[in-house]
Amino acid sequence: MMSFFSENRTPVLVVFLLVAFLLLLSFQVRVPDAGVRLQTTLLAICSPVARGSAGVVDGLGSVWRNYLYLQDLSHANRTLQRRLVHLQVENQLLREADLEGERLRGLLALEGQVERPTLAARVISLEVAGPFRVAVLNRGRGSGIRVNDGVITPDGVVGRITAAAGGMSKVQFITDPSSAAAAVLTRTRVQGMVVGRGDNRVEMQYVPALADVEAGDAVTSSGLDGIYPGGFMVGTVTRVDAGEGLQKRIEITTAVDFRTLEEVLVLLAGSAPADEHGEDGS
Amino acid sequence: MKSALRALAALAAAVAATVMLQAMASWAQDEVDVFLLVVVFYAVSGGRTQAVTMGALAGLTQDVLASQFLGFHAFTKTAVAYLVGGLGSRLMLGQALPQFLALALATILDGVLMALLASMAGLPPHLQPGGLLKMALVNGFVGLLVYGVVGRGLPWSRRRP
């Protein structure tokens, strides 16, 4: 028996690991709370490296900008051709900084509109290609973020927090196949449930077949789920089909472009954040 | 001990690379699977057991960053590490072309396994053959570049038979 295991150590290990991972998946479905705790623990382990890397990227960006500035000063007499190249690069960086400023101004304006306390956070990892639609934020439980806090941008609803470690948290987008949010068609006030499809669109379910719905109708959060406040843009109806039974099948293109997500606002449901201005001052 | 530290360093580097890729070239994040590059690197350069262990750890780490449930990437990366490791013990993968093919094959395997697992879990289908092929090619090229830089001087020829 022992010789079998020592001779087939790797295949035995593979089978053990594969079965263990299948059991782990099944366990998380059966005991969601334990799954969240497990995710939070692992997120906390990855947090120093991920946050450190994000800090390094910020630092490199700053050094690079300073470098360009100093280069401009010390090489003021360079030929026009070379100066043009530098100015073009600098122009690109400034344009990027301007866009970032614009996004942050949008977030600040949005912060004023929301009654709940909010917290700005940066996306440090994004998954929009596989079967899941999730992102990791650079803020976590230490900043007051809790599981099930809503996440929005000036464009509309992003998703909800599914795991919050000390310095990082994970967001499930509304496009994730296991996501659902209460929503309303703004023109006719018909209520429904917006469910992720796993691609970059969502579907509105539980809308009666006789309801008045047209392509182009705006869909906003209704606030009934207690996660997202009412009135935030979810998306626009792009297709309406007769669904199965007594319900319509409604396809919605989300207002938020998840592929280009950089900063978000977390709607804090719990106590006020401990480090509202955080390490990066945002 | 030394190999465990090296594996941890590789995982930390993969996390850092993923975050940096997101910050500096977010368009590339869909195409480049940094964790897969690490797993294949281990599969073609180290022992099979080591590769499988790295596959499981890298997959779990990727699950933390990019999955709603723990275990999806861990499952696929473990299987890929075992299969590519098996390939590595039968074929010479020290040259650029075989490495490129191993990376492309690993990407396709990972994508197909992920799609199968997602379908078993009742998740909607997400696999697009064109996209997967593109990702396989991109991973192949990027992997060769990374291996060229990181693996310079690595003892490919000392790979365990």
Residue A57's alpha-carbon distances to A61, B5, B62, B68, in angstroms, are 6, 24, 20, 26
Closest C-alpha among A213, A212, A232, A211 to residue A221: A232
B68 phi and psi angles, rounded to 5 deg = -80, -25
- Phi-psi label, residue A244: left if phi above 0, alpha if psi -120 to 50, beta otherwise: beta
Model confidence at B160, pLDDT cuts 50, 70, 90, reads very low
Mean pLDDT over A113-133 rounds to 83
Residue A220: inside a domain:
no
Model confidence at A75, pLDDT cuts 50, 70, 90, reads low
> Do A222 and A280 meet the contact criterion of CB atoms below 8 Å apart?
no
List of E strands, A188-245: 191-196, 201-205, 218-221, 233-242
CA-based max dimension of chain A: 80
Residue A15: inside a domain:
yes
| Residue reference for tokens 């999806």 | B72
Interchain pair A21, B74: CB under 8 A: yes
Residue A22: inside a domain:
yes
- For chain B, the average pLDDT equals 84
Model confidence at B40, pLDDT cuts 50, 70, 90, reads very high
Interchain pair B121, A132: CB under 8 A: no
Is residue B134 less than 8 Å (CB to CB) from chain A?
no
Chain A contacts in chain B segment 64-123 (CB below 8 A): 64-72, 74-75, 78-79, 82, 85, 114-115, 118, 121, 123
Model confidence at B140, pLDDT cuts 50, 70, 90, reads very high
Residue B160: inside a domain:
no
- pLDDT for res A1: 62
Look at chain A and report how many structural domains it folds into.
Answer: 2
Mean pLDDT over A108-128 rounds to 81
pTM of the predicted protein model: 0.73
User: ipTM of this predicted complex?
Assistant: 0.86
Residue B158: inside a domain:
no
Q: How far is B70 from chain A (nearest CA, A)?
A: 6
pLDDT above 70 coverage of chain B, percent: 92
CATH number of the domain at B66, please: 1.10.1760
What is the DSSP-derived secondary structure letter of residue A271?
Answer: S
Please report the sign of the dihedral spanned by the C-alpha atoms of residue A255, residue A258, residue A263, residue A268.
positive
Q: Which domain holds residue A83?
A: 46-112
Residue A17: inside a domain:
yes
Q: Which domain holds residue B139?
A: 2-153
Which amino acid is located at B2 in the chain?
A: K
In angstroms, the CA A220 to CA A209 distance is: 20
Would you state the structure tokens that stand for residue A260, as one six-digit string?
């280009």
- pLDDT for res A93: 67
Residue A180: inside a domain:
no
pLDDT in tens, A16-44: 999 999 999 888 888 888 888 888 888 88
Residue A97: inside a domain:
yes
Model confidence at B27, pLDDT cuts 50, 70, 90, reads confident
Would you state the structure tokens that stand for residue A181, as one six-digit string?
């949010």
Cβ atoms < 10 Å from Cβ of A28: 19
Interchain pair B18, A125: CB under 8 A: yes
Residue B143: inside a domain:
yes
Residue A125: inside a domain:
no
Are A19 and A57 part of one and the same domain? no
- pLDDT for res B24: 76
Look at chain B and report how many structural domains it folds into.
Answer: 1
Residue A26: inside a domain:
yes
Task: Name the residue facing B52 among A10, A29, A198 (closest C-beta).
Answer: A10
